Amino acid sequence: MRRIDSAVLHEQNEKEFAFLQTDFNALGEKLSRDGIDIEAITKAAEAFQIAVPSWGTGTGGTRFARFPGQGEPRNIFEKVEDCAVINELSGCTDSISPHFPWDKVDDFSELKQHADAYGLKWVSVNSNTFQDQPGQAVSYKYGSLSNTEKASRDLAIQHNLDCISYGQQLGAKSLTVWVGDGSNHPGQQHFQRAFERYLASAEQIYKGLPADWEMHLEHKMFEPAFYSTVIQDWGSSILAAMHLGPKCKSLVDLGHHAPNTNIEMIVARLIQFKKLGGFHFNDSKYGDDDLDSGSLQPYQQFLIFNELVDAEHRKESEFNPAYMLDQSHNVTDPIEILVISAIEVQRSYIKALLVNREALYGYQDANDAIMASGELKRAFNFDVAPILAMARYRKGAAINPLKTYRAANYRNAMAPVRPRDPKATGSGII
């Protein structure tokens, strides 16, 4: 099943193809001078996939306001439809990461069938214990897995176990746990005791993991707790992951670090100790701004992929990180920006593949800083757009996704079909 009319897509692609072929050939020739086979790189681009977060399909907001657009998805079924559009245009987003209870339904087999029909899979399930649900017996106001009250901890544990069962019904294989737990005042929380309570709760969740599942711990420096958070940084995250066991790994959300943190080095450390579970890609200037991936610091994103491709090159064992976007779209059409962001992440990956690894190792061993950093810059400075566009074309996606999306008039067509529901919850609070 398709959401974007094939005739529209075909017509747009026809208009662009001749120029694309010319640009692709020219780039191929240039790359071949460096001993790089453009076909091999294009195959890698075709194979690249990054998941879309279900909550990203709605307009985001701040604690001040939210300005939703027309025709936005009102429930998980409609979010799946928009994820299908994103994948039809990008050719690199064939999976959805759900968030519970936002995406909870009565019949998960119906939801799975709905996604199956569009060729979409379900990946990491995200639990939500950072807000109270209507009618909830006990509160998360003072934390969830690390709450001083056992009843709140038990509720949070049970919610995570429920998330695993929802995920199993959808065919997912991992659980991502981010908690808002922490404190707002010095002295409010005993750091060690809070972490001990967290670990004891997390052990209960870990015990409930199916054999072929992983648990990913997402650290975050601040917000909603502004003085300290229980899983504040990659240090706390990897300590907890090591404590829990081999199926538990750390998840790196780019926005969850202090400005100027060397995230690529954190990634290298996690790879070295088999603890890199996955990513939430986004960009940031000040903190957890949830800006669009690669919109501000594309070089940082490239440097992260440089570490990932290096691990691939060295055939690092137990290395299979999950890629996902996690960003808030306040002033753009979520479909447009999710397509663009997925392609920006894919672009970083492809550029990182152009680094001559063996040459780089040689420069590193010789302490030749100029040649080593130049090798990275050489790869980064290639314009790989023709490779990305050709990969999309070959997969039946759009050479020019934005033009095709606008020509298809999808959002306007959705407006009357999806009148705004004032009771709708879910996406849009990040």
Closest to Mn ion by CB, 215 vs 397, is: 215
Residues at the interface with Mn ion (CB under 5 A): 253, 280, 288, 326
Contact 182, 144 (CB under 8 A): no
CB of 237 to Mn ion, least distance (A): 12
Contact 341, 281 (CB under 8 A): yes
CA dist., res. 106 & res. 115, Å (int): 16
CB of 350 to ligand RM4, least distance (A): 26
Closest to ligand RM4 by CB, 42 vs 201, is: 201
Residue 81's binding partner among Mn ion, ligand RM4, none (Cβ under 5 to 8 angstroms by kind) is none
Closest to Mn ion by CB, 225 vs 389, is: 225
- For residue 370, which phi and psi values (nearest 5 degrees)? -65, -50
CB of 215 to Mn ion, least distance (A): 15
Rule CB under 6 A: say whether 103 interacts with ligand RM4: no
Neighbours of 29 (CB within 10 A): 10
- Total residues binding ligand RM4 (CB under 6 A): 10
CA distances from 339 to 45, 84, 167, 298, 333 (A): 15, 11, 25, 16, 10
String of contacts with ligand RM4 for each residue 20-49, x by CB under 6 A: ------------------------------
Is the peptide bond prior to 321 cis by the omega test (within 30 degrees of 0)?
no
Which one among 74, 280, 329, 392 touches ligand RM4, defined by CB under 6 A?
280
Q: Distance from CA of residue 389 to its chain's centroid?
A: 21
Which one among 78, 181, 253, 344 touches ligand RM4, defined by CB under 6 A?
253
Angle between the N-to-C axes of helices 298-313 and 334-353, in degrees from 0 to 180, rounded to the nearest 10: 50
Neighbours of 217 (CB within 10 A): 26
Rule CB under 6 A: say whether 430 interacts with ligand RM4: yes
Neighbours of 197 (CB within 10 A): 21
Per the listing, tokens 């899983």 go with 231
Closest to Mn ion by CB, 74 vs 280, is: 280
CB of 219 to ligand RM4, least distance (A): 10
Q: Distance from CA of residue 308 to its chain's centroid?
A: 15
Closest to ligand RM4 by CB, 36 vs 225, is: 225
String of contacts with ligand RM4 for each residue 176-195, x by CB under 6 A: --x-----------------
Closest to ligand RM4 by CB, 91 vs 180, is: 180
CB of 320 to ligand RM4, least distance (A): 20
CB of 198 to Mn ion, least distance (A): 18
Structural tokens at position 400? 């020019």
Which one among 326, 333, 344, 375 touches ligand RM4, defined by CB under 6 A?
326
Q: What is the enclosing helix (H) or strand (E) of 127?
A: strand 125-127
Residue 126's binding partner among Mn ion, ligand RM4, none (Cβ under 5 to 8 angstroms by kind) is ligand RM4
CA dist., res. 274 & res. 311, Å (int): 11
Structural tokens at position 223? 């917000």
CA dist., res. 10 & res. 235, Å (int): 49
Closest to Mn ion by CB, 177 vs 355, is: 177
CA dist., res. 251 & res. 324, Å (int): 10
String of contacts with ligand RM4 for each residue 120-149, x by CB under 6 A: ------x-----------------------
Which one among 218, 307, 344, 375 touches ligand RM4, defined by CB under 6 A?
218
Rule CB under 6 A: say whether 288 interacts with ligand RM4: yes
User: What torsion, rounded to 10 degrees, do the Cα atoms 359, 365, 368, 373 define?
Assistant: 60
Closest to ligand RM4 by CB, 229 vs 348, is: 229
Closest to ligand RM4 by CB, 13 vs 97, is: 97
CA dist., res. 156 & res. 238, Å (int): 21
CB of 220 to Mn ion, least distance (A): 6
CA dist., res. 404 & res. 375, Å (int): 36
Closest to ligand RM4 by CB, 218 vs 307, is: 218
Q: Degrees (nearest 5) of the Cα angle 430, 247, 325?
A: 25
In the complex, the residues that contact ligand RM4 under the rule CB under 6 A are 99, 126, 178, 218, 220, 253, 280, 288, 326, 430
